Amino acid sequence: TIELIWTVMPAITLIFIALPSLRLLYMIDEINNPSITLKVIGHQWYWSYEYSDFSNTEFDSYMKPVNEMNKNEIRLLDVDNRTVIPMNTQARVVVTAADVLHSWAVP
């Protein structure tokens, strides 16, 4: 009987944790009709951006060298071409990589 309790109680606990989590995962995965789609491609030392909704605009974004930076710019974060995403609109950002895993974020 104790073995049955050791098995059933953790299983019930895991079910109570898993069901709300699965619901949230499916809600996050929903794709509403976005106004704009931005494809972000990570490379080893730069990012490539593609806006494909209105015009096929593609550009690369490299870090600024330290000797070209102003005093108010942040080292290793400022780039030569910044991407622009409109406010208060639904935007889909597709993040992928050309070589290894990269981390892209919106400040």
pLDDT digits (tens, 9 = 90+) for 3-24: 999 999 999 999 999 999 988 8
pLDDT at residue number 74: 85
Lowest mean pLDDT among 16-20, 25-29, 64-68, 94-98: 25-29
Long-range CB contacts for residues 55-60, cutoff 8 Å, separation at least 24: none
What is the CA angle 60-104-39, rounded to 5?
55
pLDDT at residue number 9: 95
Structure tokens at 51: 């806006």
pLDDT at residue number 66: 85
pLDDT digits (tens, 9 = 90+) for 20-58: 998 888 887 777 888 899 999 999 989 999 998 878 889
Structure tokens at 57: 């605009």
